[in-house]
Chains A and B, each alone.
Chain A
Amino acid sequence: MIKVFALPDLGEGLTESEIVAWLVAPGDEVTLNQHIADVETAKAVVELPSPFAGVVRVLHQPAGVVVHVGEPIVSFDIGGSAEPGSAEPGSALPADADADVQADAPAPAEQREANLVGYGPAVERSGHPQRRARSGGAALAAETRPTDPVAAVSAGERPRSTPPVRALARDLGIDLATVTGTGRDGLITRDDVRAHSTQSVPATAPHGAAEPSGVPPTASATPASTSIGPAAAVAGLDAAARETRSPIKSLRKLTAAAMVQSAFTAPHVTEFLTIDVTPTVELLDSLRADRNFTDAGIGILAVVAKALCLAVGRTPSVNTRWDEPAGEIVQFNYVNLGIAAATPRGLLVPNIVDAERLDLRGLADALAELTTAARAGTTTPAALSGGTITITNIGVFGIDAGTPIINPGEAAILAMGAIRSQPWEYRGQVALRKVLTLSLSFDHRLVDGEQGSRFLADIGTILANPARVLTMI
């Protein structure tokens, strides 16, 4: 006997969730409550316990897909031919074909606002949830609209009707999206549903019982649901051929929102400075040779971080925040140094708290810790908030310079390029030197050209001649 499991509302009032990973495959035998998948909602990543003991037959949704509440995600063969006892688990739909019908029925949850308890990402709620192309409901709506403009309602909205009419439609196995409303403002009436029902019944050859008040399973024979299969299959094929569409979600969505906010509110100025960092490279070599520092793993990024912290002390306006609602400029008397990190999940900018208090070894340790955590996905929420200024290391990708976008809520971001051996003026001659380009973007509301330039020049001075630090502290 096959049991279909539909995605439940895993929080309070959630309409969709992402299947992060399946831990089982078709053919696997599972026990009751066995952890079968990880599912991410707007609130949490949760472990999904198997609702049945049996054999996994079908995974209806691949990992990485955002699924609406009520859509089938997995089917189980639980053995036997009939349900022991009469009780039908509410979320378990009777059979595959019915599952499609149930998923099409306008779930009340789709209209509900997410009701977050205590906290939650506001970003998730902006914009209407996107319905995937292969979902039955969307396919139907797309099919219906061009041929039947009267029935057209704005995309994603439930057709207008009243609860008794919806109940009637459900009992008759009719998708209201396929019904033309003749009432006021396109309201679907009881008569519309009945009229639609008499139209569609003759068109259906294998409709056994003439009684239209049959229970939902007869709905599997209506034209509405039979048309879903092929349409969905064709859509899947087409998509694979030329282009791939993936939902905008999770970190991509958050990154996009942050970048748009920054790029279109903060007037960016970007300056470049190319310097001979051979002395810094020699300093790093000498540190590596020193037994006190051999294991410290101090690299160029740590030196740049240290130089930045020292330069902030001389030009505090680069370490500020524009607080528009308060009408104030917030001057940070500490440096929470953000480090842009490419992780398997996307861009994260964790920060080193009070970086200005750390010495070079301390910074190197903090950097190592932070990148390890970012790559392992264990970065804590605390580490991702409260940054005051950011470094992005584009040199690791072999890039020299760019115009970085400021992390929202900060005043400046420094991009460090790759160190290259280049012909360079050295003591009146051309020599092969280690050369590096720094790119600094700053928010011109907070930082004028003078301050921005001095700040960048200070960092350059330290890297070009580390001993000059003595003149700055």
Chain B
Amino acid sequence: MIDSSPQPVQLLSLDGERMPRPDFDPWVADLDGPALLALYRDMVVVRRIDTEATALQRQGELGLWPPLLGQEAAQVGSARALRDDDFVFPSYRENAVAYCRGVEVTDIVKVWRGNAQSGWDPYTVNVATPAIIIGAQTLHATGWALGAVRDEVDSVAITYFGDGATSQGDVHEAMVFAASFQAPVVFFCQNNHWAISEPVGVQAHRNIADRAPGFGIPSLRIDGNDVLAVMAATRIALDRARTGGGPTFIEAVTYRMGPHTTADDPTRYRDPAELAEWKTRDPLLRLHRLLTRLGEITPEVEAATQAQADAAAAELRAGCIGMPDPEPLSVFDHVYATPNATLERQRTDYAGYLTSFGSSDQPGEGR
């Protein structure tokens, strides 16, 4: 692969040393010790949630789970840069973003347990439910952003997708429209190096960030395992969008340390040395080192953070296992925003079918 642009922007070295960068520094100047510690807590908690969900899948409690291990900084750093009225259009891996936006941990796993068609009400947290179709959410984001312009508000849409999604037509269409109408949307690409088993080099002979300027969209290529660089870049992009500057493309260079999903075995296609190398760039490790330098890490802080993470994991487990099965007729809810005659007829027919089992032995119980 030809390395056509400079190294990704980094504000935090692997040793946790703050690296000066005049164009980015002002955007994270407000992050004092406690603010950095809050980001660290988020990252520890989401990693713990992610690990627990993986275990729940292995125990038959979830049908599938897409781990985000290694991508905590990219997700937490960008999500924490958003305003409440901004709107997130995620893929299926942005569970840390959902957590930061206030989605209940139990709601995060609802879909993966096969318990609901979608896990939460998008409008209460301004996060759309995960798009499984690769790249489809980028179009939704551009559309939403065009709507924000018409509403004359300065809210911004941010859409998350992976390196593999950049090969999808949807993503390109979304960028064309975003550029044409200068829509306030941030294209946040987490280049985690692997589209299931395809290495990024197969579909990107140049850096992914280099594609956006072709659409007339400025792009930033940042170290996605550096939470400060992520937050600064996202803030720059959000500010540009809010002030009429149009879309921005961010390529956060990170690494999927786990499998694509729990149904995948990366050891079949990935060199173990590559994973070992990326472990040294672990986003949590780096922030921990900075906080240690700043004197923010004490045994009490460590214990409290761990306790918070364990509590979140316990809440997730209890909520997942104790989740009541949905009522069979609820499948008809939330299909259309307005009443629909065909759907009503189907609901009536299905209700009749259900009563054919008698009242005592409903077929929906158990699994």
Interfacial residues, chain A to chain B (CB-CB below 8 A)? 5-12, 33, 43-49, 51, 85, 87, 89-91, 117-119, 163-164, 167-168, 171, 213, 380-381
- Which of the residues B55, B261, B271, B367 comes within 8 Å of A117, measured between beta carbons? B261
> In the bound complex, what is the Cα–Cα distance between A6 and B52 (angstroms)?
19
Give the Cβ gap from B162 to chain A, nearest Cβ, in Å.
Answer: 13
> In the bound complex, what is the Cα–Cα distance between A89 and B56 (angstroms)?
11
B61 contacts partner chain A, Cβ-Cβ < 8 Å? yes
The residues of B that contact A6 with a CB separation of less than 8 Å are 60
**Those 10 A-B pairs whose CB atoms lie nearest each other, nearest first:** A8-B60, A44-B265, A91-B60, A87-B322, A11-B263, A51-B59, A118-B196, A49-B55, A90-B367, A12-B263
The answer to whether B361 touches A167, judged by C-beta atoms less than 8 angstroms apart, is: yes
Q: With A11-B262, A44-B263 in contact, is A90–B58 under 8 Å at CB? A: no
- Which of the residues B264, B357, B361 comes within 8 Å of A118, measured between beta carbons? B264
Interfacial residues, chain B to chain A (CB-CB below 8 A)? 52, 55, 57-61, 63-64, 196-197, 259-265, 267-269, 271, 318, 321-322, 356-357, 360-361, 363, 366-367
Kindly list 13 other residue pairs between chains A and B, CB separation below 8 angstroms, not including A33-B55, A117-B261, A118-B260.
Answer: A10-B58, A44-B267, A47-B58, A48-B58, A49-B55, A87-B321, A91-B59, A91-B60, A117-B263, A119-B196, A163-B363, A167-B361, A167-B363
Give the Cβ gap from A166 to chain B, nearest Cβ, in Å.
Answer: 9
The answer to whether A89 touches B264, judged by C-beta atoms less than 8 angstroms apart, is: no
Q: With A118-B260, A167-B361, A171-B361 in contact, is A9–B197 under 8 Å at CB? A: no
The answer to whether A85 touches B262, judged by C-beta atoms less than 8 angstroms apart, is: no
The residues of A that contact B264 with a CB separation of less than 8 Å are 43-44, 117-118
The residues of A that contact B197 with a CB separation of less than 8 Å are 118-119
Q: Can you report 28 residue pairs joining A to B where beta carbons are below 8 Å apart? A: A6-B60, A8-B58, A9-B60, A10-B262, A12-B64, A12-B261, A43-B263, A43-B264, A43-B265, A44-B263, A45-B265, A45-B267, A46-B265, A49-B58, A49-B59, A89-B61, A89-B321, A90-B321, A91-B61, A117-B264, A118-B196, A118-B260, A118-B264, A119-B196, A164-B363, A168-B357, A213-B361, A381-B269
Name the prevailing secondary structure of the B interface residues.
Answer: loop
The residues of A that contact B57 with a CB separation of less than 8 Å are 10
The residues of A that contact B360 with a CB separation of less than 8 Å are 213
> In the bound complex, what is the Cα–Cα distance between A48 and B259 (angstroms)?
15
Give the Cβ gap from B108 to chain A, nearest Cβ, in Å.
Answer: 18
Give the Cβ gap from B363 to chain A, nearest Cβ, in Å.
Answer: 5
> In the bound complex, what is the Cα–Cα distance between A380 and B367 (angstroms)?
39
> In the bound complex, what is the Cα–Cα distance between A9 and B112 (angstroms)?
13
In the complex formed, the residue of B with least CB distance to A12 is B263
Give the Cβ gap from B261 to chain A, nearest Cβ, in Å.
Answer: 7
> In the bound complex, what is the Cα–Cα distance between A43 and B196 (angstroms)?
13
The residues of A that contact B357 with a CB separation of less than 8 Å are 164, 167-168
> In the bound complex, what is the Cα–Cα distance between A85 and B262 (angstroms)?
29
